[in-house]
């Protein structure tokens, strides 16, 4: 069977393509552009792909998996539709060809999905007694981002973002979890949702649809009381447990969340030992550079709560250092100003920089923040502070400035 992935270079789609090949399908794909590490992974897997959504890159296949970044008007999508080909969303393909045969452990919430999913998958891998599958939308330090596994369970992070141009519901409806974690629910994805109430309604419906014998764990320390009250009134077949996972740091909170799942399989002492060996996920408080004066950390934080948590973690880890956040306005919600007031509250007493902020946002943050660019490198490097921790927080590529700043720091250190 031939499968064509339209929008194959993203983490989710690229990993699915590799899973499809592992299951014995013949896989092809197209995206507008390809960059490492996914381009390297696809090449190493022997998957054929082309750049550009032009008609010339159409390949006849039995099934077309359409990524959620693809919209009507995409030239190649229109060719596929005109030829009356069979299309399917990526989450639906994953369920039909992988998850239908598994018991699904699903990690959901606004923040922490990648790290908590990675912790759970790492624990199973480290224990070595269970060969469970997993799919992670990130790059863990010690395990691969995906594994089919051959045991009953499959661990996956479950996104509330939409599924495809023809399915605007959250991805997580397709996964049909047997064990579900709801970590936190805050307003995000302003291009999809109008309010936090609308987002919460999707989680409510997910709980309503869970099957008899399933379990759901809700972190009441990170959801609204209104949501908890609604959940308590639900008529559902699943067993729901409320617990407070909040620790002193993000790392402790994530470990508490992962433990809720893992104690279904290991005793508490073994669970603790397995999690202590977890080395993290790239772009999650990832140390990129360290010298006597400057530390550079890369973090995926792109929501005020996550940004605040990253700043607090840095303060705890580096007590005597000056913390300088560089905030990338990468998500739709950040760019359209939905989080401006929250960010102002977090940053108002901190010297900080922004990337991709609008003129209006620059004026709002002007008393304590300026736009980050190449000419700001020396301003940070030549500061009179004895120790500086630069936190680069964002979910995109910082317009290439992170790489340029890192290269400059390395060149100065080598002199």
321 in a structural domain: yes
139 & 179 share domain:
yes
Cut 0.95: pTM above it:
no
Domain range enclosing 43: 2-90
241 & 111 share domain:
yes
Contact 249, 311 (CB under 8 A): no
118 & 248 share domain:
yes
Q: pLDDT tens across 166-215, in order? A: 999 999 999 999 999 999 898 777 678 889 999 999 999 999 999 999 99
CATH number at residue 353: 3.90.190.20
Q: How far is CA 164 from CA 84, 89, 102, 169, 285, in A?
A: 18, 6, 23, 8, 31
81 & 219 share domain:
no
Distance CA 122, CA 370 (A): 40
298 in a structural domain: yes
281 in a structural domain: no
CATH number at residue 55: 3.40.50.720
**Residue that is last in its domain, among 276, 295, 315:** 276
**Residue that is last in its domain, among 276, 294, 316:** 276
Give the per-residue pLDDT at 10: 85
75 in a structural domain: yes
Q: Is 411 exposed, middle or buried (0-12, 13-18, 19+ CB in 10 A)?
A: exposed
Contact 183, 257 (CB under 8 A): yes
How many domains, in total, are found in the chain? 3
313 & 405 share domain:
yes
84 & 108 share domain:
no
Distance CA 403, CA 96 (A): 40
342 in a structural domain: yes
Q: pLDDT tens across 283-295, in order? A: 677 889 999 899 9
Contact 186, 305 (CB under 8 A): yes
Report the Cα 384 to chain-centroid distance in Å.
36
Contact 302, 393 (CB under 8 A): yes
222 & 103 share domain:
yes
185 & 142 share domain:
yes
Q: Which residues pair with 153 in a beta bridge?
A: 103
∠ Cα 51 57 61 (to 5°): 120
Distance CA 323, CA 383 (A): 12
Q: How far is CA 277 from CA 40, 141, 143, 280, in A?
A: 28, 11, 12, 9
State which residues of the chain have pLDDT below 70.
190, 280-283, 415
66 & 181 share domain:
no
Report CA torsion sign: 279, 284, 289, 292.
negative
Report CA torsion sign: 333, 334, 337, 342.
positive
Give the per-residue pLDDT at 283: 64
306 in a structural domain: yes
Distance CA 371, CA 270 (A): 47
Give the per-residue pLDDT at 280: 67
Please list the alpha-helical segments (H only) found in 98-133.
Answer: 113-127
∠ Cα 284 184 209 (to 5°): 120
Contact 234, 200 (CB under 8 A): no
Distance CA 116, CA 310 (A): 16
Pairing of strands 87-89, 63-66: parallel
Pairing of strands 286-290, 294-299: antiparallel
**Residue that is last in its domain, among 90, 109, 132:** 90
Q: Is 371 exposed, middle or buried (0-12, 13-18, 19+ CB in 10 A)?
A: middle
398 & 295 share domain:
yes
150 & 179 share domain:
yes
19 & 123 share domain:
no
Give the per-residue pLDDT at 402: 92
In this structure, the number of other CB atoms found within 10 A of the CB of residue 62 comes to 12
């Amino acid at each position: 069977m031939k499968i064509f992935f339209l929008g194959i270079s993203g983490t989710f789609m690229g990993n699915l393509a590799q899973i499809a090949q592992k299951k014995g399908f013949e896989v092809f794909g197209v995206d507008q552009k390809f960059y490492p590490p996914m381009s390297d992974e696809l090449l190493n897997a022997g998957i054929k792909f082309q750049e550009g959504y032009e008609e010339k890159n159409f390949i006849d296949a039995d099934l077309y998996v359409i990524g959620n970044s693809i919209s009507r008007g995409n030239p190649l999508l229109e060719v596929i539709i005109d030829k009356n080909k069979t299309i399917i969303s990526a989450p639906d393909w994953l369920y039909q060809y992988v998850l239908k045969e598994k018991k699904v452990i699903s990690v959901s919430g606004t923040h922490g999905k990648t790290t908590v999913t990675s912790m759970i998958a790492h624990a199973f891998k480290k224990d070595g007694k269970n060969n469970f599958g997993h799919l992670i939308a990130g790059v863990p330090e010690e395990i691969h981002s995906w594994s089919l596994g051959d045991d009953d369970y499959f661990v996956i992070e479950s996104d509330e973002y939409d599924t495809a141009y023809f399915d605007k519901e959250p991805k997580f409806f397709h996964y049909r979890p047997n064990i579900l974690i709801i970590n936190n629910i805050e307003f995000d994805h302003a291009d999809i949702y109008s309010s936090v109430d609308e987002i919460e309604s999707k989680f409510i419906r997910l709980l309503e649809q869970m099957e008899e014998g399933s379990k759901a764990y809700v972190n009441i320390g990170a959801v609204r009381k209104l949501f908890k009250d609604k959940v308590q009134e639900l008529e559902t077949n699943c067993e729901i447990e409320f617990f407070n996972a909040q620790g002193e740091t993000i790392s402790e909170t994530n470990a508490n969340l992962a433990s809720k799942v893992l104690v279904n399989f290991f005793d508490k002492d073994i669970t603790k030992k397995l999690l202590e060996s977890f080395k993290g996920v790239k772009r999650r408080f990832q140390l990129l550079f360290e010298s006597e004066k400057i530390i550079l950390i890369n973090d995926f934080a792109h929501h005020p709560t996550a940004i605040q948590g990253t700043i607090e973690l840095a303060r705890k880890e580096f007590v005597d250092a000056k913390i300088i956040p560089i905030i990338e306005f990468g998500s739709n919600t950040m760019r359209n100003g939905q989080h401006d007031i929250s960010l102002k509250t977090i940053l108002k007493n901190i010297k900080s920089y922004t990337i991709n902020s609008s003129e209006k946002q620059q004026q709002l943050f002007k008393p304590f923040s300026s736009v980050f660019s190449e000419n700001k490198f020396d301003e940070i490097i030549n500061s009179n502070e004895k120790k500086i921790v630069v936190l680069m927080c964002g979910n995109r590529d910082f317009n290439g400035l992170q790489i340029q700043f890192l290269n400059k720091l390395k060149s100065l250190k080598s002199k």
